[in-house]
Structure 1
């Protein structure tokens, strides 16, 4: 059964999308053929909006994710026309934001070369720099759009007031923010409200709490060295065990509905607004397919009340990012 559709950059895409980050930007990336199989399974199930970035790789090969996607297209050219690509950029060495036109033009040139001259549907700066005027910050990106390097402009980790300000000067095609059952702060809700008001979609990244909601790790010590989670306050010590109490309750609710906790979490994120597109990622074929099929799961009013009651009583411990990365969030 086809999943519901959302309009993104003038094209119809599935209400569930696909994030590619963990296929290359992780201490032990999966075998490429395994990744390709998972991408095919997700896209075949309807996850046609795909998120990548020019820095989803180790420092010595930051373009690893784009290169992988290029090899996927070379092997399966029939998928070129199925996928709408949202590409994050604007991040240079040591993961520092770089909004300069020359730097981003070179990133886009390399990306198009690696993708086999595939059309980039949306390009967006991954982060703003604190204290800068957003309209000025986005000017170089919009000029690159006008040069024809990509079709539409997006924004990532920006607040609703910033989105409203940007929208007075630019046509913002999509906003990418973190949304999940343990990331539902007021500033996130405000961006969802902006999406509902304007009809512009939101790419909801990490809908499974970076693997926490699916119990990828049982203890903080299980989290691998070199992973983002090893630095995240939510995965540290007592915070980890406190936050597991949320997963315990979600497991019970999902079991009552006869679905997985991952499907419950993704369906809940998708239900936050008519244009909210969760972008879970997986290198496992069955999970990639099941994640995408969450688009057909309908939460009842009773489910919603039960989840709202859970969230009202539970306070996630630890910030979304380490202290050194928090200054670029929701500006």
Structure 2
């Protein structure tokens, strides 16, 4: 609660969450909703913040983590989400596109729910620029795009979405801007990574990949120290500088860290510093995939 309040007070007034974060009621809706209940408790504890925070909620995930645009299921997810939150949902977006689905038909189902008044605006997550062009050309308005943007997630597909964002003036919510804790050295060795965590299954955190990827962090640490910044501040400032509508969404349970991360958006990097970081990333590209192989089929479709 203290970290959430500190972030909001520092200016982080758009929060990204999901129906499937944490545990939840058994049955047809599948797991999740713990994070939504937490946010709901926050609003009950601090009612003055109702209306000051915009909520972006990912959904479209059913039992067994199946990707679905099923209208009945998503109506149920939205109904329970609003019950947990106690406030309206500003943006709802499918967390992934179902592989093989026609993206226009897929997003049209979600737009039907928007027209029913179940949320205010429609977003998209883990989508590529050609898909965004196809969906918006069909008259479906995409108000937010959520993708992973960080110093180790900056491949051609990501850059193309940032260019699309700039051209269309649509915000990107850049998740995992600190490399899921890797860039801030949350863990010293691969053995430190909790095996049950997402990182415990991510190729970039495994064995030799871990140590090879640390080379990037070593150089970033040195650059940040010379600038008088933490490496986290440098990484967040860089994400902000990638495009005029790119908004990093770091997470933290520590109030001081949440405040520091939010304030990092005010740090300006020079053209020379951006060029230096480009060269660092060229020399030390990430080793290993962003997600386990079992998840890769639904990324940047």
Alignment counterpart, residue 217 of structure 2, candidates 228, 247, 259: 247
Q: Deviations over 1:108-144 (max 9, x none)?
A: 100111111x111100000011111101011221111
* Alpha-carbon distance in 1 for matches of 2:108, 2:72: 13
How far 1:104 moved relative to its partner? 0.4
Structure 1 partner of 2:284: 314
Aligned to 1:145: 114
Alignment length (residue pairs):
295
Q: Does 1:45 align with 2:14?
A: no
Which residue, out of 257, 279, 301, partners 2:227?
257
Normalised by the length of structure 1, the TM-score is 0.88
- Mapping for residues 63-82 of structure 1, pairs under 5 Å: 63-82=33-52
Deviates more, 1:301-310 or 1:212-221: 301-310
CA-based RMSD of the aligned residues comes to 0.9
**Structure 2: how far apart are the matches of 1:171 and 1:287?**
35
Matches within 5 A, 1:188-203: 188-203=158-173
> Partners of 1:197 and 1:104 in 2: how far apart?
31
| Aligned-pair CA distance for 1:239 | 0.1
Tell me, what secondary structure is at the counterpart of 1:81? coil
1:126 paired residue number:
95
Aligned to 1:159: 128
**8 Å Cα contact 2:195-2:201 kept in structure 1:** no
Contact 2:144 2:172 in 1 (8 A): yes
Identify the residue that residue 248 of structure 2 maps to in structure 1: 278
Structure 1: how far apart are the matches of 2:142 and 2:160? 16
**Alpha-carbon distance between aligned partners in 1 of 2:51 and 2:99, rounded to the nearest angstrom:** 38
> Shift of the alpha carbon at 1:189?
0.2
Deviations 1:277-302 (A, max 9, x none): 00000000110000000111000122
1-side partners of 2:98 and 2:78: how far apart? 20
CA deviation profile, 1:75-97 (whole Å, cap 9, x unmatched): 11111121011000000112111
The answer on whether the counterparts of 2:111 and 2:140 sit within 8 Å (CA) in structure 1 is: yes
Alpha-carbon offset, residue 320 of structure 1: 0.3
How much does 1:327 deviate? Answer: 0.2
Q: Which residue of 2 aligns with 1:54?
A: 19
Aligned residue number for residue 199 of structure 2: 229
Q: Give secondary structure in 2 for the equivalent of 1:51.
A: strand
| In structure 1, distance between residues paired with 2:275 and 2:33 | 43
Structure 2 CA distance for aligned equivalents of residues 302 and 315 of structure 1:
20
The residue matched to 1:138 in structure 2 has which SS? helix
| Shift >4 Å, 4+ stretches | none
Q: Find the aligned partners of 1:216 and 1:78 in 2 and give their Cα distance.
A: 34
Task: Provide the C-alpha distance between the structure 2 equivalents of 1:46 and 1:284, rounded to a whole number of angstroms.
Answer: 16
Give, in whole Å, the separation in 2 of the partners of 1:220 and 1:93: 31
Identify which of 67, 80, 87 aligns with 1:97: 67
Please list the CA deviations of residues 133-167 of structure 1 after superposition, one character each: whole Å capped at 9, or x if unmatched: 10101122111100100000000000000001111
> Greater relative contact order: 1 or 2 (C-alpha under 8 angstroms, separation 6 or more)?
1
Say whether 1:325 aligns with 2:290: no
Q: Match of 1:172, SS?
A: coil
Alpha-carbon distance in 1 for matches of 2:278, 2:35:
36
In structure 1, how many angstroms separate the alpha carbons of the residues matched to 2:128 and 2:272? 31
